Structure 1
């Protein structure tokens, strides 16, 4: 992958799994639910993990599974570990159509960015965004907006039909990244 040999979607998903097991649930303000103050006894015990991370992992696994089975209905059995799903997807789409292989790469790259954000690594996402040109105008002025989880183009002439700066979702960024990487591979091959 273009994001490094050791920093892959598989590695990030494994980190999220470890994060899920090792860190207690926090409140929206970032405080632990464990408090020195007395409180009412809950009807059910608190979850020992963050359910949002679990939901994210399940959604990623489901997306990988759906895409792979749509591209190859005869795909082998699902792996035991979720982190092995990316290898499973690549193996089972290796002989699929070019479009399905492209979509698999986009899913993996987008999910890698999502894993980074889920783990709080905004810096990696910011660097990845800065390393690619704007797909709308081609300039190298993309900036990451952490609050919106989107990139925007700083070129004042790159606007939407309402006159606002072009905004790019993670999906659109991943599509543009994989497209440019494939174009570069084809140019080097000729």
Structure 2
């Protein structure tokens, strides 16, 4: 499975001495998280973005395009994203959030996941 291979490759990249991955894919994310708590913040954020992106990919593959509605736009931070199958990207429908030609901003699942994780980590740093 492509997503499992990505998780194993990433984990082995940041933790070369990692133990073998679980034989059953169900534990692959837990394996990756357990082996990477000591890596620097940037690598932890990349790890979490992989997990989040893959969860979005799986949901959309199962027909749940509404999952994207729970993500904020990386540009305007509004809850205005809609999935566009024809582009295989999310579009922001906020009329003020457009590119330089006036078209809706489009976002890949990777960009959305990175924004989601960055916001989560920023909230952790500012929590009191």
TM-score normalised to the size of structure 1?
0.62
Report whether the alignment pairs 1:85 with 2:25. Answer: no
Shift of 1:74: 0.8
In the TM superposition, residue 159 of structure 1 has moved relative to its aligned partner by: 1.8
Number of residue pairs the alignment of both structures matches: 128
CA–CA distance in structure 2, aligned partners of residues 153 and 117 of structure 1: 17
Separation of aligned partners in 2, 1:161 and 1:89: 40
- Name the CA distance, whole Å, in 2 between partners of 1:165 and 1:117: 20
Aligned equivalent of 1:19: none
2: distance between equivalents of 1:137 and 1:78? 39
Q: Which runs of 5+ in 1 are unaligned?
A: 1-57
Counterparts of 1:1-190 in structure 2, within 5 Å, are 58-122=1-65, 126=66, 128-188=67-127, 190=128
1:101 deviates by: 0.8
Q: State the SS of the aligned residue for 2:18.
A: coil
CA contact (8 A) 2:56 2:68 kept: no
Residue deviations 1:7-54, cap 9 Å, x none? xxxxxxxxxxxxxxxxxxxxxxxxxxxxxxxxxxxxxxxxxxxxxxxx
CA RMSD, Structure 1 to Structure 2 (Å): 1.7
